[in-house]
């Protein structure tokens, strides 16, 4: 029995409605605060050279760009579905194989 739908997360898209699809990579910007302590050697040197030295952890704001894969499916009705690996748990390559088998 052949499947009539492709399922990603809670979305069910009829295979007969799919016009095309693409896989692209996007970047998500994550910012967080991290406390950094100096290593023991630096603390000893600072204590010896600066008697008023207080060892307080420094707070550092770290900003990273995290790449992730996105599958974009377009239908004949003009609807565009975007599925990213950070929102849905699925194997993009497996879904691409399913779509390739149907679209051939």
Q: What is the DSSP string of 68-83?
A: EEEEEEEETTS-EEEE
Are 4 and 15 in contact by the 8 Å Cβ rule? The answer is: yes
pLDDT digits (tens, 9 = 90+) for 23-45: 999 888 888 787 777 677 877 77
Q: Where are the domains of the chain?
A: 5-103
End-to-end CA distance of the chain: 18
Q: What percent of the chain has pLDDT over 70?
A: 90
At residue 1's C-alpha, the angle toward residues 73 and 75, to 5°, is 15
């Amino acid at each position: 029995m052949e499947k009539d739908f492709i399922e990603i997360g809670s979305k069910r898209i009829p295979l007969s409605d799919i016009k095309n699809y693409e896989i692209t990579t996007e970047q998500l910007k994550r910012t967080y605060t991290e406390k950094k302590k100096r290593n023991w050697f630096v603390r000893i040197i600072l204590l010896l050279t600066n008697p008023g030295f207080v060892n307080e952890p420094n707070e550092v704001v770290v900003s990273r760009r995290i790449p992730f894969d996105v599958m974009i499916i377009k239908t004949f009705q003009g609807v565009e579905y975007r599925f990213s690996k950070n929102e849905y748990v699925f194997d993009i390559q497996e879904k691409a194989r399913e779509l390739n088998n149907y679209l051939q």
